Chains A and B, each alone.
Chain A
Amino acid sequence: MASGQKAARVGEEVWKTRVDKVNAELVTLTYGTVVAQLCTDYEYDYVQVNQQLDKMGYNIGMRLIEDFLAKSNIGRCGNFRDTAEMISKKVGFKIFLNITPTVTNWTADNKQFSLLFDENPLADFVELPDDGRAQDELWFSNIFCGILRGALEMVQMSIEARFVSDVLRGNDVTEMRVTLLRYTEDEMPPDDE
């Protein structure tokens, strides 16, 4: 796919030339501390922690999208498949984290796909608490879901994102499921003469 290759080049170039880098350990430790602190603050109510992480991500995504657009200088995606390639694999995760999650498991209606994370800088060195619940309830990297939701909302897409498996929980892969709910086009209604 020609456009996909072009996007990959954009991602590579932006990552190499336009992005300030920080030490990966700083990111990992900062994020780890945030999650651990949330766990303490919410008395290990992991459902709440997941929600807070998602909310924080949402606020990040709404702001980060401008940086993404300004740096990558790309136009609007023609369809949700392009969006998936763009935000996740070729440009989005690439320029911010230098990872390229695999886009896969599309549903027939092209409205739902999975991102498989081969590597996840947020979760290096992490071991979930051994309290019998964290393994089943905490989605450690849930901030990603919020970021995607916030960023896509700003470009008129309403989506739902959630993790369905995580290597931290002992699953084979780390998988996020992304569902397009609808395009929220801000055009005037056709009959509004």
Chain B
Amino acid sequence: MPDAGINLLRQSAIPQVWLRGGPVFALLIISKAGSLIYHRTFPTSATGTAGAGGTTQPQTVGTLGLPGTSTLSTNDYLVIAGTFHGVHAITRSLTPRIPIPPSAAGPSGRSWTYPDPETPPSGIESLESSFFRLTVFQTLSGTKFLLFTDPSMPNTDVLMKGVYERYADYVCKNPFWQMEMPIRIDAWERSLNQWLTRR
């Protein structure tokens, strides 16, 4: 795994204090059918060696792993996921469809076109409050990744791409993970730890 060397470097070169409290708050994954298949909050309070051993996790508090935010039950997360799935579908359908004359209709036979024919409708891509930013990435296969970060966090798209690659590796390629089912895979957790909490 190419990441291992980089992380060793980071561990030695960067003070431990910096490692604590990464600006990534939470990650949710919604299957293409709209059900929540993964959720995790990341430790943001200074509780010491965050995930240094790979599996040991400091206690996280509240919705985004922060003290003072209300704590959600797993059921609440399921509701959030379902709601977001619906809202995402609605926002996607808000993309205008501009009528075109039948003579100009393409091979698809449609009588309308999107404002930019090259860009398919996407739905919500990001959502921001004074305190967090939600970055949404929907894969072409319909799975949605929801990443809650600090609004000042740069390059969340790069972060997201890394998450997607790890998902493809550790989740999809695990023959014992059934598609559309909740993800409970240790190797995936460890890989996420490295990618999201040490920056």
A186 to B140, CA, bound (A): 11
Least CB separation from A74: chain B residue: B140
Question: Restricting to B105-141, which residues have a CB under 8 Å from any CB of A?
Answer: 107, 118, 120, 139-141
Q: Does A63 contact B (CB under 8 A)?
A: yes
Least CB separation from A192: chain B residue: B93
Residues of A within 8 A of B141 (CB): 65-66, 69, 154-155
B172 and A76: CB pair below 8 A?
no
Q: Does A67 contact B (CB under 8 A)?
A: yes
Q: Does B199 contact A (CB under 8 A)?
A: no
A181 to chain B, nearest CB (A): 15
Question: Restricting to B125-173, which residues have a CB under 8 Å from any CB of A?
Answer: 139-143, 161, 164-165, 167-169, 172-173
Number of A-B contacts (CB under 8 A): 49
B140 and A67: CB pair below 8 A?
no
Q: Does B89 contact A (CB under 8 A)?
A: yes
Q: Does B32 contact A (CB under 8 A)?
A: yes
Least CB separation from A110: chain B residue: B107
Interface string of B158-199 (1 = CB under 8 A from A): 000100110111001100000100000000000000000000
Residues of B within 8 A of A154 (CB): 140-142
- Out of A64, A76, A79, name the residue touching B140 (CB < 8 Å): A76
Interface string of A44-84 (1 = CB under 8 A from B): 00000000000000000011111101110101101100000
Residues of B within 8 A of A155 (CB): 140-141
- Out of B89, B161, B168, name the residue touching A66 (CB < 8 Å): B168
A79 and B93: CB pair below 8 A?
no
Q: Does A188 contact B (CB under 8 A)?
A: yes
A67 and B172: CB pair below 8 A?
yes
A69 to B145, CA, bound (A): 14
B167 and A70: CB pair below 8 A?
yes
- Out of B107, B118, B139, B173, name the residue touching A69 (CB < 8 Å): B139
A76 to B88, CA, bound (A): 19
Q: Does A136 contact B (CB under 8 A)?
A: no
A65 to B167, CA, bound (A): 12
Q: Does A187 contact B (CB under 8 A)?
A: yes
A193 to B93, CA, bound (A): 10
A127 to B173, CA, bound (A): 31
Residues of A within 8 A of B169 (CB): 67
Residues of A within 8 A of B92 (CB): 187
- Out of B93, B120, B139, name the residue touching A188 (CB < 8 Å): B93
A63 to B179, CA, bound (A): 8
- Out of A65, A67, A70, A187, name the residue touching B93 (CB < 8 Å): A187
Q: Which 9 A-B pairs have the closest CB atoms?
A: A154-B141, A66-B168, A63-B172, A67-B168, A70-B168, A70-B165, A66-B172, A70-B164, A155-B140
29 contacts between A and B (CB under 8 A): A62-B179, A63-B172, A63-B173, A65-B141, A66-B139, A66-B141, A66-B143, A66-B164, A66-B172, A67-B168, A67-B173, A69-B141, A69-B164, A69-B168, A70-B161, A70-B165, A71-B165, A71-B168, A73-B161, A76-B140, A79-B107, A110-B107, A154-B142, A155-B140, A155-B141, A186-B32, A187-B92, A187-B93, A188-B93
Given A67-B168, A67-B173, A69-B139, 8 further pairs, Cβ under 8 A: A62-B179, A63-B173, A64-B172, A66-B167, A67-B172, A71-B168, A76-B120, A79-B107
